Amino acid sequence: MPFFTPKPMIEDTYRHRGLRQKLVEKLRQKGISNEAVLSALGKVPRHAFFDGALLSHAYEDKAFPIGEGQTISQPYTVAFQSEKLMVASGQRILEIGTGSGYQACVLLELGAVVYTIEYNEKLFERTRNFLPEMGYHPFFVLGDGSKGLRSKAPFDRILVTAGAPVVPTELKDQLAENGVLVIPVGTLDKQKMLRITRKGSTFTTEEFDNFAFVPLLGKDGWNGGNKNS
Ligand code: SAH
C-alpha cells in the first residue's frame, strides 16, 4: 500500500535533485512556462511524500494514492493550477483541499502566505504534522472549504484542488479586489479549469483544459445537494 508517512529527517540527495530536474524539464515540454512555478516544483522534495520503495514513482508525472481514498496531485496539474493562479510573493492564498500538502509547499515556495483547508480529519492531522517537519508552514484549517474561510478573508488568490459541481458564491465573495480564483468545475468524472477574476463587483471567467479531480465535498460541493453528474 503506497503511503506517505512522516519522516524525521528528509534526505534530499543528488539523485533526488536530478530526478526533480528531469520532471521540471518534462513539465516545460508539456507547456508550463512560468519560471517561478517551474523553480518552485524544482525545490519541493516530492519523494518525501512517498515510501522509500516508491521513490521511482515520486518524480513521475502522475497522481498517486496517499490513503483515505485521496491522492497527491499529478505534478503537471499542480504546475498548471499554480501558473494559472499568477502568484506574486507576499500574496495571501487560500487553498481548498490540503490533501498531502504538496500543492501548499509549491505555493509557499512561490513566496505566498498560505491558508489551507482540509475536510478529512485524518488527512488534516497527518499533513499538519508532516509539513513542518520539512520546514513548510502554511496555516492549517480543518473544515469545509466550499464555504471558504470568512474569518481570514479577503484573499488575493483562492485555489480549489478538488472538483466542484458549481462555483461556490462564498469563494467569489472572499476574493480581494483584483483577486483570482482557480477552480475545476464540472461533473464527477471531468471538470473544466476556470479562472475567475474580480474587479469590484464584476467577475470575469476564463476557461481552460479539462481535468479529473477527486470530488469537492461539503455544502457547495457534492454532498450539498448539487446534482450535475
Ligand atoms: N492539494 C492536494 C490534493 C488534493 S486532493 C495535494 O497537493 O496533494 C483533494 C482534497 O480535497 C482531498 O484531500 C479531500 O479530502 C479534500 N476536500 C474535499 N472536499 C473538501 C472541502 N469541502 N473542504 C476542504 N477539503 C476538501
Q: Domain containing 95 — which CATH number?
A: 3.40.50.150
Helix axis angle, 102-109 to 35-43, nearest 10°: 120
Pocket test for ligand 1, best of 147, 161, 167 (most atoms within 8 A of CB): 161
pLDDT score, position 53: 64
| Residue 82 forms part of a structural domain | yes
CA–centroid distance, 63 to ligand 1, in Å, is 13
pLDDT score, position 229: 46
DSSP alpha helix (H) spans, the chain: 14-29, 35-43, 55-58, 75-85, 102-109, 121-133, 169-173
| Residue 188 forms part of a structural domain | yes
How many Cβ atoms sit within 10 Å of the Cβ of residue 37?
Answer: 25
pLDDT score, position 2: 36
pLDDT score, position 1: 32
Q: Which of 73, 82, 100, 146 is catalytic?
A: 73
pLDDT score, position 9: 62
CB 125 within 8 A of CB 67: no
- Give every residue of the chain whose pLDDT is below 50, as ranges: 1-7, 229
CA–centroid distance, 142 to ligand 1, in Å, is 11
Which grid cell is 98?
Answer: 490540503
Residue closest by Cα to atom 11 of ligand 1: 97
229 counts as catalytic: no
Total of domains in the chain: 1
| Residue 26 forms part of a structural domain | no
pLDDT score, position 52: 66
Shortest-distance atom of ligand 1 to CA 218: 22
| Residue 131 forms part of a structural domain | yes
Q: Which residues constitute the domain of residue 140?
A: 77-211
| Residue 175 forms part of a structural domain | yes
| Residue 113 forms part of a structural domain | yes
| Residue 184 forms part of a structural domain | yes
| Residue 108 forms part of a structural domain | yes
